[in-house]
Amino acid sequence: MSERSTSGDIGAADLVAGAGGEVAMAGDRLAGTKPLGLWADTWRRLRRNHLAVVGLGIIVVFLAVGMTQEVANLAGVSTGERGAGYLAPYDPNAVNYELSPKGLGSPPSWSHPFGTDYLGRDVFSRTLVATRISMLVGVIAVSIALLIGLILGPISGYYGGWVDAVIMRTADIFFAFPYILFVLLIMTVLGPGLWNVFIAIGILSWASYARLTRGSVLSVKAMEYIEAARAQGASDLRIIFRHVLPNTMAPVYVAIAMGVGGAIVTEAALSFLGIGIQPPNASWGKMISDYLSYLQVGSWWMLSFPSVFLVVTVFGFISFGNGLRDATDPKLKE
């Protein structure tokens, strides 16, 4: 009683207001600063991380370049002599022996900023066209991996038991094989070709996404709102993909950013080994492999530019992924 009397009329007013009490409190909060949503909050913290912003910038630029090439490719624009309407100024596969005296290419000049290669092809055009391949590999291979991983992972975690055992042991098998050897194996079975590169890399990376989501699902499925959804009569599939999966995605976004970088490197490695992109088409890995020997005779430009593009792109994806992880980590919240 004495406690109540010290708070005096305020307490009494609160009691009279009844339902108004809690509502008023929530109302004040609304009137003040509006709480940020998950993405707005993440973006706010991501912006402070300069490296991540640089990474995002790189990703945007390269995706734009890749997409321009892709659109041109789909529209059937032929790459003619000079300025055919999109980024690559020359036909990336046009051989011109005059530009390659002694078969060693020609160094960078105003008309060929990255120089020409041993067949007189414009290295700048080839590098740009290769950007399309690398971006396609990154996006499509990771999409395939996500499609498999984000279906099998949640199912594995949600149902547990033998379903979990079968899926996770399969994932273990995929982890146990040496990565490049497994890709080589699949590529040998499927045969070389752009789409087969996507499929091979996609099939090989699903396991990490599956494992990642399975772990999160295990913790989320014990939450009370999952039981509440079940008490409403929601089906298993609805619970998994509407209630469980969206709550497990934060680490997956980070893995995607990293995974795209990884897929690009893997494609480069495959092309370097000669089972990726087939000539005369260009990819960064293919170019690195083709031009490697010309470094010894002084034609540095052939190798340098695709290498730099590759490194910068992968750096972009990884630093963005790192930044994203920091920004979504609640423990780092200030």
Q: Applying CB under 8 A, which residues contact another protein?
A: 14-15, 18-19, 21-23, 25-27, 29-30, 35, 37-38, 223-225, 227-235, 242-243, 246-247
Going from the C-alpha of 28 to that of each of 22, 33, 78, the distances in angstroms are: 10, 9, 62
User: Can you say how many angstroms the Cα of residue 159 is from the centroid of all Cα atoms in its chain?
Assistant: 28
Q: Which phi and psi angles does 116 have, rounded to 5°?
A: -125, 160
Q: How far is the CB of 206 from another protein (least distance, A)?
A: 24
Dist CA 171 CA 73 (whole Å): 37
Q: Are 126 and 57 in contact (CB under 8 A)?
A: no
Exposed, middle or buried by CB within 10 Å (0-12, 13-18, 19+), for 246? exposed
Q: How far is the CB of 165 from another protein (least distance, A)?
A: 15
3-state SS class at 23: helix
Q: Phi-psi category of 16—alpha, beta or left, where left has phi over 0 and alpha has psi -120 to 50?
A: alpha
Q: How far is the CB of 13 from another protein (least distance, A)?
A: 13
Strand partners, 122: 116
Q: How far is the CB of 220 from another protein (least distance, A)?
A: 10
Q: Which phi and psi angles does 106 have, rounded to 5°?
A: -130, 145
Q: How far is the CB of 325 from another protein (least distance, A)?
A: 19
